[in-house]
Amino acid sequence: MMAMSTSIKLNEHNFRDWKTYFHGRLMAKGMYDQLSTSPHSTPSLEDQKAFGILIETLDPSQYHYIQHATHVRTAYEALVIQHEPTSKIDRIQVDMEWAKLSWDMRQETIPDFIHRFQTLAQRLHDVRAPESESNQVVKFLALMPWDFRHIVDRLSHLPESEQTLTKT
């Protein structure tokens, strides 16, 4: 039996998913570095292959964003500029998601919740509305079971100078 692989085609609504998928495809082919190399006047064979992968993963409605690009990096950057959220509306939407963030232990495992939490924190950073690390810790602990509430109280009442975080 043949395994079916799913592919993601970029459209107006799935940039984050497509970006992860596209990076994964380039990594699997050993061409991820093509996104960071500066384009030369003539595209290399690797650049052309990576550009082909990019085109394969686009919905036809996205072609006009890259119509003048001749290198994968310039095409990718054009798509990032078009799709990355940076408007005030995007900031408000992500801020609202952050404010509404909750965790139901019965429906979501802690690793899944941590991943969702980290993804949302990254999205806040992407829309230029990052939360401080101490606020992230307090928010995270506040969403944990009641057993952790005493830690949240202690952290939120500390002076700013005494609030330290250990990165693991």
CB 123 within 8 A of CB 84: no
Q: Which two tokens stand for residue 86?
A: 């940076």
Dist. CA 15–CA 70, nearest whole Å: 21
Positive or negative, the Cα torsion across 24, 35, 19, 130?
positive
Question: What per-residue confidence (pLDDT) applies to 97?
Answer: 92
Question: What per-residue confidence (pLDDT) applies to 72?
Answer: 94
Measured CA to CA in angstroms, residue 7 lies from 51, 53, 71, 74, 146 at distances of: 16, 11, 22, 22, 42
Question: What per-residue confidence (pLDDT) applies to 168?
Answer: 36
Domain boundaries, the chain: 15-83, 88-162
Question: What per-residue confidence (pLDDT) applies to 166?
Answer: 40
Question: What per-residue confidence (pLDDT) applies to 9?
Answer: 92
Residues of the chain with pLDDT under 50: 166-168
Question: What per-residue confidence (pLDDT) applies to 126?
Answer: 77
State the first-to-last Cα distance of the chain, in angstroms, to the nearest integer.
43
Question: What per-residue confidence (pLDDT) applies to 102?
Answer: 92
Question: What per-residue confidence (pLDDT) applies to 148?
Answer: 66
- Global model pTM greater than 0.85: no
Per-residue model confidence as pLDDT tens digits over 110-119: 888 888 999 8
